[in-house]
A = this chain, B = another copy of it.
């Protein structure tokens, strides 16, 4: 294993300190926790937005903390759900009296721990709601999931819900628009290589030199099939066909995310995006806005995912509303 780390046990702790060191005016780490919050939280009268999950998906989730997006991100160990007590600390830290929305990616551990934290916070008199993102169209049920997995589309949910909350909406309204986004966003990924967890020291799985895995999860969970590596255009078409089958093409305005999984050069992501734009244009769809880069990674995995968000009523404005975070820009 070749990694720039000090030791596997402390990667999350040291990463969080390094992140806050780089952004001391915007971010704060709650002492003795793995929670990163907006430095100005809690904001009185504003709904707080909390997300998080296992580490190893950077810049998710702490990179999305800031004005107009998340109020707090809770980091678990690598590929491991954060514990309920950590999530509870985040909820308490960002509640400004208007309640807190939890944005959960659909993994059994995450759902269980976030919901437990929700109950604990409610017992302390905080109003909490939660939504579960399940944008990955690749497979039903998976290694760590009942139903569909939550992947890069989660970032759009953060953005839309965050903008709505920033605009002064109620918890009920913020939850509604988060659920509207979840209903409108679909993603799928492909891997060319495995990733290596620091604590494991060796790749989670192996792919042959000419092989790719279509529909892989962001923790290396099995996808649909392992097939021979084909061209960027062909891979893109395979993913898009599966995604678009579930997107309402009547609403022809869409947002796109081409998300690198960790070690795929930006050059290749742009080559993918060229094809994405062509396919969507040929279908008469209007790409309103595109993000190309690393948003929801899987450590050093090679590969990418494509996300399409159907911009039905109101989502467009919230998606491009001003935002101030480390990793998401409009």
Contact = CB atoms under 8 A, between A and B. Distances in A.
A82 B55 CA distance: 40
Q: How large is the interface on A (under 10, 10 to 19, 20 to 34, 35 or more residues)?
A: 35 or more
B274 A17 contact: yes
A297 B266 contact: yes
A140 interface: no
A214 to B, nearest CB: 13
Contact of A14 (B274, B291, B292, B300): B274
Contacts of A167: none
A88 B275 CA distance: 30
B297 A15 contact: no
Interface in A1-47: 2-7, 11, 14-19, 21-23
Contacts of A300: 263-265, 302
A56 interface: yes
A4 B58 contact: no
Nearest to A23: B290
A308 B95 CA distance: 38
A266 B263 CA distance: 10
Give the one of A21, A265, A266 with max B CB within 10 A.
A265
B6 A270 contact: no
Contacts of A290: 21-23
A112 interface: no
20 contacts: A2-B212, A2-B229, A3-B265, A3-B268, A4-B271, A5-B232, A6-B231, A7-B231, A18-B274, A18-B275, A18-B292, A22-B273, A22-B290, A56-B267, A58-B267, A262-B265, A264-B300, A265-B300, A267-B299, A329-B329
Given A18-B273, A58-B265, A263-B302, 8 more contacts: A2-B212, A4-B192, A7-B231, A14-B271, A14-B274, A15-B271, A18-B270, A21-B274
Shortest Cβ-Cβ A-B pairs, 4 listed? A263-B263, A18-B270, A18-B274, A22-B290
